[in-house]
Amino acid sequence: MTVTDTARLEQLIKGQAYGLGFDLAGITSLRPASTAAAFDDWLARGFAGEMQYMLRTAEKRRDARLPVPEARSAIVVAMSYGGAEPSGPVARYARGDDYHDILIERLEALHRWIDAQVGRAVAGKAYVDTGPLLERDLARRAGLGWFGKNTNLINPRLGSFFFLGALLVDLELAEDAPFEADRCGSCRRCLDACPTQAFAEPRVLDATRCISYLTIEQRGEIPAELRESIGDLIYGCDICQEVCPFTRKFSRELVEMAFAARPAVASKDARTLARELLAMSQPEFSVAFKGSPMKRAKLRGLKRNAAVALGNVGSAEDVPSLIFALEDPEPLVRGHVTWALGKIGSPEALEALRARLSVESDVWVLQQLESAVGRARD
C-alpha cells in the first residue's frame, strides 16, 4: 500500500469522494441486508408491480456479498440534485442529464484513484441504482441517513434530494457507525400528502399506486381510478419529499449543473410540456432527450402521461393537441387521449371522439371511446 502509515486510507477515500463532487460519503462492510425480510415481504405483497427485475435479482439484493464475490467493503456516496427549485410536471431529478452516467463516471474515477493509492488493481464495481443492491440499506449502515416514512433515505443536513451510489471493493476497510436514529417522530406529512395513497403503512410503498411508478415504470395503461390523482405530473413525483420538514429546511440550490433542467423541460408548465410531447416525433424526442433519464419512459409513455395531465388540468384550448394525438400510431396513446378528451368534454372534444369511433380498429381503444362518449351522454 502506498499511503503513509499515519494516514488512514478510509479518510483519504472519503476526502477524494468529496473532491469528486459527492456530498456524503461513508463506508460499510458487505453482509446480508438487515432489510432482507422487509424486502421479501414487499415483494410477496405485489408492491413491485411490473418491476420483475426486482424478483429476478432478489437473492443478490438480500446479501451484498453476492454481486461482487471478491468485494469486502462498500464506499457509499450521495450527490445532491438541488431541491430548492420550483415544483413542476417533471420531478427534479429527471430534468437534466442522466444521473447514472454522472455518478458512475465519478465512482469509476474514485476506483482508479484507490488503485493508485494501494499500488494494485483493486477488484470491485460501481453501482448506481441499476445493480442488484439494496442501496438504502448500505447507505444507512454507512451512516448517511435514516429511512423516512416516505421510504427515502433522509440525511439530517441534506434532506433527501440526492442520488445514491456505491463502489464495492476488495479491501477490508474500517466501517463508519450506522445511522441508528429515527428522526421522523410522529410526523406523517409525507403519508398524508400522497395523492394516490401509495403508502400501505409508514416506510412501506405500494409502487403500483406511486405516481413515479405509474408515469415511468408502468408500461401499459394507467389504471383509470388513479388518473385524476396524478394531476399535472408528467414524469415522476416529488410531493412526499417536498412536504418533509428536513427536506424543506435543508434542500440546497443546485450546484451540479449537469442536473440543471434542459431546454425541453425548463420552466414549462404541464400544459405547455404536454402539448409539445403530444406533437413530438420519435426523431425529435431522440434529440431533445438524448442523455436524459426521461428516455426510460419512452415517447409512447410520455405521450400517455401528457394526455392524462391535460385531462386533469387542460381546457378547450388544449383539445386540438389531443385531437392531433388521436392519430398516434400507439394504441396506448390514443386510449389515454380519449380519456382526456372525455374529461374536458367540450363540443369539439366530443365530436372528435364520435368521429374516431367510426375508424378506430384497436379493441381496447374502442372500449375507451365508447366509455368516454357514454359518459358524455350521461
Task: Kindly tell me the burial class for residue 100, based on how many C-beta atoms sit within 10 Å of its own C-beta (0-12, 13-18, 19 or more).
Answer: middle
- Whether 196 is covered by a domain: the verdict is no
Q: Which has the closest alpha carbon to 24: 153, 112, 130? A: 153
Q: Say which residues have a Cβ less than 8 Å from residue 29's Cβ, sequence separation at least 6.
A: 72, 73, 74, 172, 173, 175
- Whether 257 is covered by a domain: the verdict is no
Q: Does residue 371 sit in the same domain as residue 266?
A: yes
Q: Say which residues have a Cβ less than 8 Å from residue 60's Cβ, sequence separation at least 6.
A: 66, 67, 132, 133
Q: What is the spatial distance between Cα 124 and Cα 349, in angstroms, rounded to a whole number?
A: 57
Q: Does residue 164 sit in the same domain as residue 20?
A: yes
- The pLDDT of 330-346, averaged and rounded, is 97
Boundary residue ending a domain (110, 136, 169): 169
Greatest CA separation for the chain:
82
Q: Does residue 272 sit in the same domain as residue 155?
A: no
Boundary residue ending a domain (119, 149, 169): 169
Secondary structure (3-state) at 80: strand
Residue 183 has pLDDT above 70, yes or no: yes
Q: What is the spatial distance between Cα 248 and Cα 160, in angstroms, rounded to a whole number?
A: 9
- The pLDDT of 293-318, averaged and rounded, is 98
Q: Which three cell numbers stand for residue 254?
A: 443546485
- The sign of the torsion formed by the CA atoms of 346, 347, 350, 355 equals negative
- The pLDDT of 195-204, averaged and rounded, is 98
Residue 327 has pLDDT above 80, yes or no: yes
pLDDT of residue 206: 98
- Whether 282 is covered by a domain: the verdict is yes
Q: Does residue 148 sit in the same domain as residue 266?
A: no
Q: Which has the closest alpha carbon to 166: 197, 142, 198, 199? A: 142
Q: Does residue 61 sit in the same domain as residue 165?
A: yes
Catalytic residues: 129
Q: What percent of the chain has pLDDT over 90?
A: 96
**Residue type (1 letter), 56:** R
Q: Which has the closest alpha carbon to 342: 232, 221, 230, 227? A: 227
- Whether 123 is covered by a domain: the verdict is yes
Q: Does residue 271 sit in the same domain as residue 139?
A: no
- Whether 249 is covered by a domain: the verdict is no
Q: Does residue 155 sit in the same domain as residue 27?
A: yes
Q: What is the spatial distance between Cα 273 and Cα 259, in angstroms, rounded to a whole number?
A: 19
Contact 90, 236 (CB under 8 A): yes
Q: What is the spatial distance between Cα 12 and Cα 371, in angstroms, rounded to a whole number?
A: 64
Task: Average the pLDDT over each of 6-10, 22-26, 85-89 and give the range with the smallest value.
Answer: 6-10
Q: Does residue 40 sit in the same domain as residue 161?
A: yes
Q: How many CA atoms lie within 13 A of 313 on its CB side?
A: 17
Q: What is the pLDDT of residues 200-220, one digit of tens each?
A: 999 999 999 999 999 999 999
The mean pLDDT of the chain is 96
Residue 4: pLDDT band (50, 70, 90) is: very low
pLDDT of residue 187: 98
- Whether 128 is covered by a domain: the verdict is yes
- Whether 29 is covered by a domain: the verdict is yes
The DSSP secondary structure of 233-251, one letter per residue, reads -SB---HHHHT-HHHHHH-
pLDDT of residue 6: 38
**Residue type (1 letter), 362:** D
Rg value, the chain, Cα = 23
Q: Say which residues have a Cβ less than 8 Å from residue 152's Cβ, sequence separation at least 6.
A: 160, 240, 241, 244
- The pLDDT of 224-244, averaged and rounded, is 98
Residue 72 has pLDDT above 70, yes or no: yes
Domain with 360 in it: 262-378
Contact 50, 218 (CB under 8 A): yes
- The pLDDT of 227-249, averaged and rounded, is 97
Q: Does residue 39 sit in the same domain as residue 161?
A: yes
User: Cell 400501505 maps to which residue?
Assistant: 200
Q: Which three cell numbers stand for residue 128?
A: 448506481
* Count: domains in the chain: 2
Q: What is the spatial distance between Cα 205 and Cα 214, in angstroms, rounded to a whole number?
A: 13
Q: Say which residues have a Cβ less than 8 Å from residue 226's Cβ, sequence separation at least 6.
A: 196, 209, 214
pLDDT of residue 247: 95
Q: Which three cell numbers stand for residue 106?
A: 465519478
- Whether 275 is covered by a domain: the verdict is yes
pLDDT of residue 374: 86
Q: Which helix (H) or strand (E) holds 335?
A: helix 331-344
Q: What is the pLDDT of residues 37-70, one digit of tens each?
A: 999 999 999 999 999 999 999 999 999 999 999 9
Q: What percent of the chain has pLDDT over 70?
A: 97
pLDDT of residue 3: 56
Boundary residue ending a domain (153, 169, 185): 169
Q: Does residue 154 sit in the same domain as residue 283?
A: no
- 371: domain CATH number is 1.25.10.10
